[in-house]
Structure formats: C-alpha cells, structure tokens
Structure 1
Amino acid sequence: MGSDPLGGSGHAGFIGSQPQYDSTRGIPPRDRHPEGVDQQFGLPLQIVTESGSSTGFFQNASHFTVENSTLIDKSSQNMHIVNNLQQGKTVLEILYQEMTKGADIDSFARWPPPKCYPGTRTRLTAEIQTWLLRGVRKWDFLWLSGPAGVGKSAVAQTVAEFALGEGILGAVYFFSRPNGRYKYIEVFITLAYQLAIRFPGYQAIITAELAAEPGLLEKAPHIQFRRLIIEPLLLLSHERKRVIVLDGLDECGGEGAQVEIIELINNIVNSNTSFPIIWVVCSRPEPHLKRIFARPDHIVRCWREFLHIESEESRRDTETFIRGRFKEIHDQYRECVEEDSNGCWPPETATKKIIEKSSGLFVLADVLLKYIADSEICDPDLRLGEVLAFLEYSRLTGSQRPMHGLDLFYTRILSDIPSDHWATVRQILISSTFHSNEYSSLAVQPICNLLHITRARFYVVMQRLHSVIDIPNPSNAADTPLTFFHASFLDYLTDPSRAGKFFIGRLVSGHGITVATGLRDFMLPALRCLGSTVGLAAIDIDRGDMKDDREISKLLREAFSWPPADNYAAWSSALNTAGPIFSSLFGLLCILFEQCELDDELLLVLHHFDFNAFTFIHYDYQWDFPLQHLHKLVNLIPYWLCI
C-alpha cells in the first residue's frame, strides 16, 4: 500500500484481495496505529457501538482471507457498512450521476480551455505559484476578480494546470451559465467526485460516508459541504495542502448561493489553519461579492487580487498576445498572405492599430485574432482588412462582422438585466455619456439628480453592470465618476447594428435629448436662490400659481436679461457688494446638485411646470456637461428658452 494518505493505492481498513489480516484489527500489522487510527487514511479502525464498547469483524478468528465482500456489522441496533474496492467504484458512479459534467480542468466541453498565453500574466501567476508551494502562508484563500473579458479564466486554468503538475490539485469547477454549469446543488458533489478520482484515500472516506447515508447527496449544499468536504478532509489535515479552484463564481445559481459559498469557505479557512485545502476563487466584481469581501470577518486570511484592464501590465500582456498570435497566423498561412520586402506580416501599422483598440482587454484581442485566423476562410489578409476598416470607421463591412464574438459577450451581460430595470438603466447610460471621454463620465449623484431617481434606485438597477462599468460605492457617489472598463462597451451600446435592443442612441450632432427631470426641477429653485442673493427680490420667482409655460419663460428672461432695465441699480449694487456671496452660492448650488439627493419639497416648486415643452440638449450646440462649474447651467438658459 502507498504511504500518501491522499494518493494511496489501496483501501486500508477495507477488505481487499491479497493481504492477510490481523484478527484484532482487520488490517495488516504494518498499517496499525497505536491509537487505533489507520496510518494511510486517518480512519478510525475500531467500530464503536452506542454503548461505547469496541467490536470488530470475526472476533477471535485468525489466519483467513476474505475477498470481494461486503461486511455488515450489527451491534446495539447500529449498522455499519464497509465497502470494498468494487463498491467504491459504485460510489464514484453515484457521484458521477449527480455531478456537473464539463466542469473539470481537462473536460472536452471546455476544449481548448482558455489559459495564459506564453509571456503574459507572468507576475501574477508566479506569485500565485509561489504562494501555493509555500509551507506557511498568510492566506489559504485567494479571491481573483476583474472586469468581464480581462482573462480571469485563463489565469484560473493556468493555476490549476500548475497545481496538477505539482501533484497538489484537489478539484476545480469552471462555472458557465450558458453551458449548464451553474447549479449550486451540484457544486460540492462535483468537487467530491474529483477529489475521489485523484486521491483514493479520500475516496475511501467518502465511500464509507455515502454508504452510511445514501441520501447525503440530496441534502442542502451547506450540509454537503460539511459532510463531503470538511469532515473527510479534516481526517487528512496532517498532509500536504491541495488546491481547489472555483472559476466564474458569479455564474453559480443566484446571488445567495454565491455568497453562501464564500461564507462556507471563509468559515473553514478562518477557523482551522491546518485544513488541507487552499482555495482559489475567481469572479467578476459583482456588488454582492464585493460587499461580503469587504466585511471585517472576510479580510482575515484572504488575499484579494484585482485584474485591471487599463493597467500597464495588462496593456503589455495584450500586446505580447497579439504579436505572438500574428506570428502564429503568419507561420500557418505564410503562402496566403502578402509579406513586405523583409518577409514580415502584418504591417506594423495594422498591429499597432489592433493593440491600441484592444488596450488591455484580452477578450477583444482574442475575438479579432480569431476572426482574422478563421480556418473556414483561410484568407488572413482579407479578414485583416475587414477588421481594420471596422476599427477605422466603426461600421460593419458588408456581411462580415469582426466584432460578432464581442457583441455576443456584451449582449449576454445586458440580457441579465431585469426587463423592468432596462428603461432606467438606459437613461443612466445615456446620462453617463454626456461628459464621457470614452471612459469617464458623471458621478453617481449628479446622474441621480438629472434623472430624478433615488440613489438607492440607481444601485438596484445597475446591479448587473459591475463587470463592464466601474460603479463607485455609495459613500463615493458624489465625487467618483462612472467609468467604462473598456471603450468597446460604449462602442457597442451606440451602434444599433451591434447592440440591437440594447442600443442607447448615437451621440452625434443634431440629436436632441429630452431634458432630464432632475435638472429641470432643479433650475427654478436655483434661480430663486440666486435672484434673492443678487438683489432681484422684486421678481416674484416663488409664485405658486404659475401654470403657463410662457409665463415661466418670461420670468426667466426677466431674471437673466443683461442688464435688467427696470432693476439695474439694484443689480449693480448687489454685484459690487455681494460678489463673494454670489460666488460662494454658485459653489453651494454645485455641491447641492452633485453631492445631495434633491429634496422633494424643493422640487415641488415647479410642480405645475410642463417640462415636456422643453428640450435639454442639441448636440450641434456643442455643450459640454461637467457639473463642476454650475454657471454653465445659467449660460444655457438663453438657448434653452428659445427652442
């Protein structure tokens, strides 16, 4: 028999086919432990009845061999079933029947699996490998997160393959909702099957466990975790630690299931440092996961690593990937491509264009290169030309769709948004692009005020977009802008041929957008406050009987005529004596609009105003929209009134 408790070749304590068994224990003398524990598996060697007495098979018998048998010992109303190797195979069949297919490291359903391209993610993978092999580590739990398409699954596969090569891989689960690998009830059964396949020692323990309670696989997942994972592995806690990798956790069941998995892992990691499992969990930065990892009890013994798209390392790695793949395509289709005088392909300008467009997003680079290298077409030059034309003009060329794979990727993300949330999400996305320079946009609170929605409503409807948009925490809602992780998402949203029903509108000259409710409601209270400050009290901005749009327009024209003929002296005097107050008030209003939820009582001032009579923005007006300078709201008024 082998000496590795997780990797032994036999089933000590279970009747097999060759060894002669000692009658007092039922095991070979060389495997006996003075405290009655099997050296190979850490299993109790005595069967203890409810009365506390010890018994064994064939007491007082000696010098015999039992082969291919099931032994049942009935003592004090307890039945203990001991399975031989043949029954162990049956248990594997039971696990296989209930587990998720295609979730393993080498499953054909995932073939070829994503993994780190040579020369990419070298720093991160080296750090993880060192961490896995270290005898004593600060953490036994790694959470690797990052935006959609940044390459988390490739890192997970690479780490799992490394662990397999080192003989320390316990199990993996690659979640995929579209491919049916997402059911929470199957997760721990799948891990148990893989552990049993890789380590017969664990298989022996789990065989006895399932024989004692065949209905265990129908228990709730947290009970399965305890009975299939924790309790069996605690018997092996004196051995070298093994690695379990969970990739794509955000695609497992519902949010509650995902949170429970993290809690179960965290509880065992924090309560038992000798537990023989190192956990690697990869996911998108979904808000419910960020919340649980931000809790104080989830910081202890947890290493958190975030993969940034726009980091120098990511950009460098995508360039390495693109140049390497172009070389492979060149080697494969050398006779089909137009080389330059030096025998090089493609032109450096083309390579740089794709590197620039990919900008750290591996999924985009991969989609474009797969399109160019399509083996059904076998014409890389043609496909490269189509890709470059698309990138240059942001439109499809004929019937070809270079971005089809990326479009499916983004469409799938948006499809998870509840239908009753989409209208508000669309308004938020449109609002966030008013000041967008491809990535950055308005902060959360100004957007809420523009759309007249509560901050809570904003975070509810945006729950499903944390993988493509960096959404700040509520504590930073006033001053941290929304940020698109990659410009390709905005390109997708503003192209109707790509986004389909998720098209939000092309932001070009001549397109009008209805004024946002919050800004409309905010304007007159702001004017009332400003008017009283600079001595325009004679203008009755607080009139509650204003119902006519023309009356509102006349009032605003009076307030902002320059100079007001009938009140010039008051205006001039106020400007001379209250300039600092005037400036401070602008700042105060800016803070009010950007950092505070607008009070309904304040907004009711304009309750009778017909807001549909006005239009907010025409892009041929070329009005930028940074609310840091609120006077732009005032400068817009004359244009607003004449449309």
Structure 2
Amino acid sequence: MSILPNAQNFRVDNMHIYPSQHVQNTQDNRMDGWKMLLKNVASNALHDSRARFDAPKCDEGTRVEVTKELMDWIQDCDAPQRLLCMTGAAGAGKSALQQTIAGKCSDSNTLGAAFFFSAGDPTRNNLSYIVPTIACQLGLRNPALRDTISKAIEEDPLIFERQIRVQMDTLVVAPFKHVCASGELDRSTFPHCILIDGLDECSGEDNQAELMSTVKHCLLDNDLPFRVFISSRPELAIRSALDNGPEGYLYQLAYHIKLSDMYDATSDIRRYLWTRVRGIGNRSRDRRAQFPLWPTEEDIEKLVAAASGQFIYAATVVKYVSERRGSPVDRLRAVIDWTPEGGQQTRPLELLDILYRNILSTAKDLYEGVDTNRGRDFLLLVRAHQMNSDGRIGMVQSSTRDYDEIISLEEEGHQVLFSDLQSLVYVRQDPAYSKNDLYEQELADIVESYSDKWKERYQEYGLKEKR
C-alpha cells in the first residue's frame, strides 16, 4: 500500500497518523474467528430454523405428564444427573416433545443451544456441524464468551477438522471456564439447557457413540452448569451406553426415560385425533364432514387401536385426511378400510411406509453384511420368528431360544437378528419358563410388534423384496 516502496532513511515532518484505521483492523481481526464459526454452523438444525417451519410439536393438553417431568428436570439445577436420555420407538413423538421443550425453554430463557438431527439433510446427519452450532448459540448469549470462542478459532483455524471431543473442549468447555473465572459470565443465570434431538439420524453407530462419549467426557466430567437432553430411537450405540452392563458408561450418569414403556399415549392420541379430524371437517366443503356426528366414535377408536401408542401413525392419518383435493370423509374411510392385500392404488400411510422401510432396510443391510451371516435371508428369518411368536407355526408356540435352533441360528441368534429393529419391536420374557427353571439365565425373548400396522407394513415390504 506504500506510495514510496523503495524509500529509506527519510523523515516526514508534521505528519499526523490517525489511529481509526488501526482500530478498525483490530476489530475486523477479532471477528475473523466468529466469521469462520458461522461458516461451519448448521442453521437448519436450530429449533426455530426457517427450514423446520411448522415442525411437529405437542398439541395443547397432550403429553402433559411427560412434558412436566422433562421441564422439572431441566429446571432442577441441583439434581445430580445432568444428562437426560429419552428413548422411544419410531414415531413415539420424541421430536415433537423436543420441539415443545425447546419452545418452553426459549420462552423462559433457559435454552442454551439446540441441535435437531435429520437423516435427509447433509448439514445435520453427521457430526461435522454439531459442536460449532452449539458453540455459536452459546456465544450469542454472552459477548465475552463469543469473543473468547472467536479467539480460540483464530489460534487454531483447523479446529473444525479435528475430532469432536477436541472441538467441544476448545470451543465450549475452555471458553466457558475462562469467562466464568474472569467474572464476565454468571453461570447461575446463564441459559443452561442443551437439546439434541434424533441422535439415531446421525449416520453411523460409531458417530453416535462418539457424540455420547464426547458429552460424557466434556460436558459431564467438567464442572459446568449445562443440563443436556438427548432423544433417540433405542439404537445399539445408545442402548449400549445406557444399559446396566459392562459397556454402560452412562448408566449411573443419565436419567433415562423410556418413552414407549413409561408413558401410555393412548388417551393423548385419542384427543389429538378427535381435535384434528373434527377441525378438518369444520373447514371442509363436504357437507358430510361438517355433520356433527362425523367422525364416529367407532372410527376414532379403530384409529387409536391401530396407532398402538405411536403418534406418527395418528399424525400420518391427519396429514392424509387433510388433503384439500379430496373429501376428508372418503379419505378417512380409505385409511380405516386399507389392507396390504387389498390391491388399492391409494397409499394413505405412505409416510409411515417410508419410515418403516428405511429402518427395515438398514437393519437388513447391517445383518446380511456380516461375514458370519452365511448368506441367510434377513427378511425370511424375521418373518419366521414373527410367525412363531404369533403361534402360527406348528401346534404349540416354541420358545424363541428353541426356535433359534430349529431355523439353524446360533445360540441367542434372535438377539442379533433384532438388534437393529429395537425402534419397531420389543422383547419380553418367554412365559413358557418359570423363574425357577434351570434355564433362568437363558430365558428367550419373544418378539412382539407394536401394532398390526407394523406387521402389515413388514409383510408388504417382504413380498416386494422377494419379487
């Protein structure tokens, strides 16, 4: 920039140098780290992101009990467990609960950061953006924290390429401790809730396990005020960390809510269906839908039974019935009368089909990709166990342990077979054995579907796969 690039040994008298440009450059340099951070943030993952417009949340008057329990835990900063993990079946309403909690925490100024994973979004189906996104939200809550995070990035511009545990220590833990020690941040009033939804939608078991481990070693093992709420399907990496076993390093540290087991959503689903379907009828031009006795109580109860406690079924029905290009009366009847063998062209539960198909396909690929699989067909084995659990094979239902041997699976082979279907099916002890039986430690598990709808979806998928 010099106009005398080769000049030397000269003096200029009466020259005034104004510091404003220097100050401006200093400010720009101080913001470089923050600008780099913003380039590595997944804005779609925020709870109020424009990309997540009209995200599912709990209707007023529904999920009241579980919502209260979650908020009580978040607000009780003296409770010893600073990690809450909520697991539940596919479609149990985990994301709706997270969205509802995010809104409540935002209103009460306790929301520090939120990250909503999504398998279909490349910015939020992996670990690349989660720590920068959390750090950015926390930095926006306090100017001193923001400046400290920026400085950390300037000192290590490659931080975004490092392991997420290093990122968490560098961008969250160390800056937070620094500003607390300097007195520039009051930890007692700082928004302390960190929400992570849909960990199962982060691709790869290793990535899911890495994030759980990072939360433990960085956020729980340090003296930080954060309370972390993670929701997920009960996939292997999550189950292993939370189980009371050798690998369960979070068993004592986490408050674990098993949503599908601990809270019966039947009454909430019934209320949701009545409210939503009646609302659709009132807005419809079809006079049949405006009739006070539509829908009938019988119709609603059939839908409630078919939902089997899974909100996603009810939400899928409502979405289909609300389509403006058709009569809600006819579309509701199509849902109630639909069967996989009916040959209908309409697919009222297509969104549910996609969800179940993706879970089943992933489980199939993982099972058949193991070298010890010996070429066995995953779908046929699942179907065989399902038929045995229904008592449709032979005169007497075999124990699952015995049935493994009948179909030439290794001992406890059904455990491996259903390992990646935990979000669709659950296991219970075989009633054929008493607790005093010699084989008490080998009690077989019987696979039970959450609903007949799951069986129908599976059967249809299996038939298509065979074709």
TM-score (norm 2): 0.81
| Equivalent residues of 1:114, 1:157 under 8 A apart | yes
Identity rate, percent: 22
- Pairing 1:397-412 to 2, within 5 Å after superposition: 398-412=344-358
- Pairing 1:235-384 to 2, within 5 Å after superposition: 235-236=178-179, 238-240=186-188, 242-272=192-222, 274-294=223-243, 295=247, 297-308=249-260, 313-333=264-284, 335-338=285-288, 343-375=292-324, 377-384=325-332
| Equivalent residues of 1:175, 1:182 under 8 A apart | yes
CA 1:129/1:266 → structure 2, altered by over 3 Å: closer, same or farther? same
The structural deviation recorded for 1:397 is 6.6
Instruction: Could you tell me which runs of 5 or more consecutive residues in structure 1 were left unpaired when the two chains were aligned.
Output: 1-64, 73-82, 504-643
SS of structure 1 residue aligned to 2:118: coil
Spell out, residue by residue over 1:382-401, the C-alpha distance to the aligned partner (whole angstroms, 9 max, x if none). Answer: 211211221xx554574211
Spell out, residue by residue over 1:213-243, the C-alpha distance to the aligned partner (whole angstroms, 9 max, x if none). Answer: 2221222221101101211122355513511
Which of 111, 115, 137 is the aligned partner of 2:79?
A: 137
Q: Residues of 1 paired with 2:441 and 2:313: CA distance?
A: 30
Match of 2:94 in 1: 152
Which of 39, 46, 49 is the aligned partner of 1:97?
A: 39
The structural deviation recorded for 1:452 is 1.0
| Equivalent residues of 1:99, 1:187 under 8 A apart | yes
Spell out, residue by residue over 1:90-149, the C-alpha distance to the aligned partner (whole angstroms, 9 max, x if none). Answer: 433322322334111112222211111211111111111122122411311100001111
Tell me if 1:431 matches 2:367: no
SS of structure 2 residue aligned to 1:308: helix
| Equivalent residues of 2:112, 2:193 under 8 A apart | yes
Q: Residues of 2 paired with 1:425 and 1:477: CA distance?
A: 23
Q: What amino acid is the match of 1:231?
A: A
Which of 469, 478, 485 is the aligned partner of 2:443?
A: 478
Q: Residues of 2 paired with 1:502 and 1:137: CA distance?
A: 53
CA 1:443/1:469 → structure 2, altered by over 3 Å: closer, same or farther? farther
Q: Residues of 1 paired with 2:466 and 2:315: CA distance?
A: 23
Match of 1:558 in 2: none
Match of 1:385 in 2: 333
SS of structure 1 residue aligned to 2:45: coil
**How big is the alpha-carbon RMSD for the aligned residues of Structure 1 and Structure 2?**
3.0
Q: How many residues align?
A: 419
| Equivalent residues of 1:141, 1:269 under 8 A apart | no
SS of structure 1 residue aligned to 2:288: coil
CA 1:443/1:209 → structure 2, altered by over 3 Å: closer, same or farther? farther
| Equivalent residues of 2:389, 2:446 under 8 A apart | no
Spell out, residue by residue over 1:594-634, the C-alpha distance to the aligned partner (whole angstroms, 9 max, x if none). Answer: xxxxxxxxxxxxxxxxxxxxxxxxxxxxxxxxxxxxxxxxx
Match of 1:447 in 2: 403
Q: Residues of 2 paired with 1:147 and 1:438: CA distance?
A: 24
Instruction: Could you tell me which runs of 5 or more consecutive residues in structure 2 were left unpaired when the two chains were aligned.
Output: 1-17, 181-185, 369-375, 430-438
Match of 1:40 in 2: none
- Pairing 1:446-525 to 2, within 5 Å after superposition: 446-455=402-411, 458-471=414-427, 478-495=443-460, 500-501=464-465
| Equivalent residues of 2:205, 2:236 under 8 A apart | no
The structural deviation recorded for 1:248 is 0.9
CA 1:409/1:480 → structure 2, altered by over 3 Å: closer, same or farther? same
TM-score (norm 1): 0.60
The structural deviation recorded for 1:481 is 1.3
| Equivalent residues of 2:199, 2:230 under 8 A apart | yes
CA 1:303/1:198 → structure 2, altered by over 3 Å: closer, same or farther? same
Spell out, residue by residue over 1:273-320, the C-alpha distance to the aligned partner (whole angstroms, 9 max, x if none). Answer: x402110001111123211112564233310001117x7731111111
Q: Residues of 1 paired with 2:391 and 2:81: CA distance?
A: 38
Spell out, residue by residue over 1:159-197, the C-alpha distance to the aligned partner (whole angstroms, 9 max, x if none). Answer: 111111111211111111122222213221221222233
Spell out, residue by residue over 1:45-92, the C-alpha distance to the aligned partner (whole angstroms, 9 max, x if none). Answer: xxxxxxxxxxxxxxxxxxxx96575699xxxxxxxxxx63x5555433
Q: Residues of 1 paired with 2:23 and 2:151: CA distance?
A: 12
CA 1:150/1:165 → structure 2, altered by over 3 Å: closer, same or farther? same
CA 1:159/1:339 → structure 2, altered by over 3 Å: closer, same or farther? closer
Spell out, residue by residue over 1:537-563, the C-alpha distance to the aligned partner (whole angstroms, 9 max, x if none). Answer: xxxxxxxxxxxxxxxxxxxxxxxxxxx
Q: Which has the larger radius of gyration?
A: 1
SS of structure 2 residue aligned to 1:338: helix
Q: Residues of 1 paired with 2:442 and 2:196: CA distance?
A: 32
CA 1:208/1:481 → structure 2, altered by over 3 Å: closer, same or farther? same
| Equivalent residues of 1:103, 1:175 under 8 A apart | yes
Q: Residues of 2 paired with 1:324 and 1:137: CA distance?
A: 37
The structural deviation recorded for 1:475 is 9.0
| Equivalent residues of 1:206, 1:228 under 8 A apart | yes
| Equivalent residues of 1:414, 1:502 under 8 A apart | no
Match of 2:367 in 1: 421
Match of 1:580 in 2: none
- Pairing 1:536-555 to 2, within 5 Å after superposition: none
CA 1:470/1:326 → structure 2, altered by over 3 Å: closer, same or farther? same
Match of 2:176 in 1: 233
Q: What amino acid is the match of 2:464?
A: G
SS of structure 2 residue aligned to 1:98: coil
Q: What amino acid is the match of 1:431?
A: A
Tell me if 1:173 matches 2:115: yes
CA 1:286/1:475 → structure 2, altered by over 3 Å: closer, same or farther? farther
